Amino acid sequence: MPIDRNAVDHVARLARLDLSEDERSRMQVELSAILDHAERIQALELDDLEPTSHPVPLRNMMRPDEVTPSLSQQEALANAPSEEDGRFKVPRIIEDA
């Protein structure tokens, strides 16, 4: 199934990718080709099958609720592109009232 330019723009926005015009054009062609190949599974009779999200049956892993050593605030912030007062700093999110 070919995907149209609107779909590319929509998905790029969802994925937080500021793609260039050139990238968007290429992406439309390449994604269409890949999805076209994947289209083959649409013909399979799959209604009676359970989906597999994970290859091994998982159980919850419990541990005692105890305080154990963890990263210090300084270590956690060491790779931050921007920080202030011991916090990650980002552009303004909330508008002035």
Partner 1 sequence: MSITDLHWMTAHELADLLAAGDVSSVDIAEAVIARTEDVEPKLDAFLTRTDDRLRADAKASDERRRNGETRSRFDGVPIGYKDVFVTKGIQSTSGSRILEGFIPPYDATVVDRGTAAGLPLHGKLNMDEFAMGSSGENSGFKVTRNPWDLERVPGGSSSGPAAAVAAGVVPWAWGTDTGGSVRQPAALTGVVGVKPTYGRISRFGMIAFASSLDQAGPFTRSVKDAAALIEIVAGGDRNDSTCLPESAPDLLSGIDAGIDGMRIGLIKEVENAEGIAPGVRSRVDEAYARLEKLGATLEEVSLPSFEHGISAYYLVAPAECSANLARFDGVRYGLRVDADDIVSMMSKTRDAGFGDEVKRRIMLGTYALSAGYYDAYYGKAQKVRTLIMRDLERAYESVDVIASPTAPTTAFRLGEKTDDPLAMYLNDVFTVPYPLAGNGAVSVPCGTSADDGLPVGLQLAAAALDEPTLFRAAYAFEQDLAWAGTPESRPSI
Q: Which residues bind partner 1 (CB under 8 A)?
A: 3, 7-8, 10-12, 14-20, 23, 27, 30-31, 33-35, 37-38, 40-42, 44, 46, 49-56, 58, 60-61, 63, 71, 75-76, 78-82, 88, 90-93
Closest approach, Cβ 86 to partner 1, in A, equals: 13
- Bridge partners of residue 84, in order along the sequence: 87
User: What single-letter DSSP state applies at residue 94?
Assistant: S
In the complex with partner 1, the residue whose CB is nearer, 15 or 97, is 15
CA distance 71 to 79: 13
Closest approach, Cβ 97 to partner 1, in A, equals: 18
Closest approach, Cβ 65 to partner 1, in A, equals: 13
How far the first Cα of the chain sits from its last, in Å, is: 47
DSSP string, 28-73: HHHHHHHHHHHGGGGGS--TTPPP-S-SS---PPP----------H
Closest approach, Cβ 8 to partner 1, in A, equals: 7
